[in-house]
Amino acid sequence: MSTQLASFLFFGSTLILVYLFYKKHDRNNVLIILAGLFILPFSFKKILIETDYGFFSFFLAILLFAAARFIKSHHRYFCLYLGVYIFSMIFTIGHIEILYGMNKPIKYITLASEIEYKFKNNQVLNIPIKGKNLMINNTDQILYVESVEYGEDFMSESSTTNQTVQEIQPFSLVKLKNEVGYYFEEPPVIVTTYYEQGEERPEKTTYYWLHN
């Protein structure tokens, strides 16, 4: 369930509960506030937030819980209510990476199950946010994902005749088949791997490299 759908259900059910159980002389003001919050998820389709700022919601929720603890008036219930809502967003947000150039992609979170995205070539697409490892290629380059295998005292690329495991078209959305470890710069000749005590060491370790 996306944050957008969860928000509609959350605020919609709250509107009904407030109307039924809230004191009459305060009901109108509360309903106006909640109606505004109920409309807010319509804007989620155009919102992308860099992941670095995504955990801000966690700290904001903690502040609201603290405010609910110390505020003596009935307004503390709004702080508690919004704190629960913001904290629950952490579990419903979608994740996507966007590649703008020949660099590592920037990670974003989205609150909707579908976003409206405008590429650099001015093409606009509605992009569904489903599953993991989603990446938008916002470049005019065809990109490739190759496997690189490491083993004891050697480094070699995939032993199959076709070394490319995935091709990514320009200005497109793709679900990466494998988690990419290296972007554009060639992978190192030697890597260090760590194993838990008693864990069986595999004959080889595979990493994936994205490049043009």
Mean pLDDT of 188-203: 63
Euclidean distance between CA atoms 59 and 66, whole angstroms: 11
pLDDT of residue 160: 44
Give the residue, 128 or 30, on which the prediction is more confident. Answer: 128
CA angle 152, 164, 161 (to 5 degrees): 70
pLDDT bucket at 197, cuts 50 / 70 / 90: low
The mean pLDDT value for 201-210 works out to 76
| Residue 131: DSSP 8-state | S
Query: What backbone torsions phi and psi does residue 176 show, to the nearest 5 degrees?
Result: -65, 135
Dihedral sign from CA coordinates of 172, 175, 178, 181: positive
Query: How far apart, in Å, do the first and last CA atoms of the chain sit?
Result: 35
Confidence at residue 169, expressed as pLDDT on a 0 to 100 scale: 95
Place 158 in a pLDDT band, splitting at 50, 70 and 90.
very low
pLDDT band at residue 21, thresholds of 50, 70 and 90? low
b/e 173-212 (16+ beta carbons within 10 angstroms → b)? bbebeeebebeeeebeeeeeeeeeeeeeeeeeeebbbbbe
CA distances from 199 to 55, 151, 194, 196, 202 (A): 34, 16, 10, 5, 9
Q: Letter for the amino acid at 53?
A: Y
161: pLDDT confidence band, cut at 50, 70 and 90? very low
Residue 155 banded pLDDT, cuts 50, 70, 90: low
Give percent of the chain with pLDDT exceeding 90. Answer: 18
